[in-house]
Structure 1
Amino acid sequence: MKLERKHALVLLGIAIWNVVTYVTFIKNLAATEGRPTGYYVAHTVLIVVNLLIAALLGTWGVRALKAARSSASASAGKVNA
């Protein structure tokens, strides 16, 4: 499957959105008091998993963007030749 530039941008956008929302979630979680330990454990697991997903999607987005750029430059070279 060939990913285009628009796909790469969507992946990067989702990754950035996940990071922004979960960093905010971390701040809000740190500000809470008086909750059971299970609450903090469950939400910490959610945060870690979602930040890992963001890292994976960001990696795929960067790779797709680089591949789209190299593909575009290769086809531009064919046109000029």
Structure 2
Amino acid sequence: MRMSRPVSLFLLLFGVWSWVIWVTFARNLWASEDSWAADGSPTAFFVVHAVLTVVSLVLGTIIGVLGWRGLRALRRTPTSQESPTE
């Protein structure tokens, strides 16, 4: 299956955007007073949101890689005006 350039670009940009958003969220989560109990241990709030962050980063990476591969595949395929060499 081949993706169009706009779809590939959208997926790549979505992956980059996901990293920007979730890394910022992780920094804010780490600095939040709600993330840590009085004894310094992580709270349930922290654990749930840390898992959410990790899953979102993994999915964003996968989506971004799919977009990158789609763009690379478009560069390797001949355009409709070019005839493939035999």
**TM-score (norm: length of structure 1):** 0.84
Rg larger for: 2
Aligned length: 77
- Of structures 1 and 2, the one scoring higher in RCO (CA 8 A, sep 6+) is 1
- Deviation (angstroms), 1:5: 1.1
State the match for 1:39 in structure 2.
45
- Deviation (angstroms), 1:53: 0.6
Amino acid across the alignment from 1:39: F
Q: Per-residue CA shift, 1:23-43, capped at 9, x if unaligned?
A: 110111011124461100100
Superposed structure 1 runs of 4+ greater than 4 Å apart = none
State the match for 1:7 in structure 2.
7
State the match for 2:40 in structure 1.
none
What residue ranges of structure 2 are gaps of 5+ in the alignment? 38-42
Identity over the aligned pairs, expressed in percent? 36
- Deviation (angstroms), 1:69: 1.1
1:7 to 1:34, Cα distance in 2 relative to 1, 3 A: closer
Give the whole-Å Cα distance in 1 for the aligned partners of 2:12 and 2:23: 16
Amino acid across the alignment from 2:46: Y
Provide the aligned C-alpha RMSD in A. 1.7
**TM-score (norm: length of structure 2):** 0.80
